[in-house]
Chain A
């Protein structure tokens, strides 16, 4: 069974600070996606990483896929209150299923 563990589960920091969210597995994924979900909404895709070692940047967000394609990280620089939300990672398994992490609930305090 493929599992994805996200850490931390909850993070509350001040505006302007940096943070990193981790997504780890013992399984290899063909690609990995990061989503952000706001209350009352469905998850929305932020990025897909495909190649081991790949780094993608989306404004203040930096996504990295591990060399072995088993883990990923999301780093936010100078966090802003608008970054508040539930961040979810999802690995694309061998049968094209999305395997979801439990999410990181992020609160950025002004």
Chain B
């Protein structure tokens, strides 16, 4: 596609439920990043994929969070047993390869609200 696409754009879920957030990166981009952003704050790094593998998952807050990218394109961020503190905008970005001096293109994000 022309840009990074994230679905759904909004998700409201009950505390304790499981959610999946999807990211479609720009075609051909090997690097994919997930971030979480609270209102008025900068993005908080969660996980970085280079191709199909998670090159760095040090930002995942706990074992309730998991992400996959099985074919090196679409990625899914999975959150188990959601908590109210998980409420945030989840941003996905892709770039041609490791960021270096290349530009990261962001999706519009998925706003997750846990009630």
Contacts and interface: CB of A to CB of B under 8 A. Distances in A.
Contacts, number: 61
B106 A48 contact: no
Contacts of A97: 45, 48, 56, 99
A102 B101 contact: no
B93 A86 contact: no
Interface stretch (B13-21, B36-44, B66-74, B79-87): B36-44
Interface string B55-80: 01000000000000000000000000
B94 to A, nearest CB: 11
Interface string B24-44: 000000000101000011111
B45 A100 contact: yes
Tell me the interface secondary structure of chain B in the complex.
loop
Interface string B75-115: 00000000000000001010000111101111111000000
Q: Contact residue range for chain B?
A: 20 to 34
Q: Contact residue range for chain A?
A: 20 to 34
Interface of B: 4, 33, 35, 40-45, 48, 56, 91, 93, 98-101, 103-109
Given A43-B91, A97-B48, 16 more contacts: A30-B101, A42-B4, A42-B93, A42-B106, A42-B108, A48-B101, A48-B103, A50-B101, A88-B42, A95-B56, A96-B100, A97-B56, A98-B104, A101-B42, A102-B42, A103-B42
18 contacts: A30-B101, A31-B101, A42-B105, A43-B43, A43-B106, A48-B101, A90-B42, A92-B101, A95-B56, A96-B98, A96-B99, A97-B99, A98-B33, A98-B104, A100-B43, A100-B45, A102-B41, A105-B40
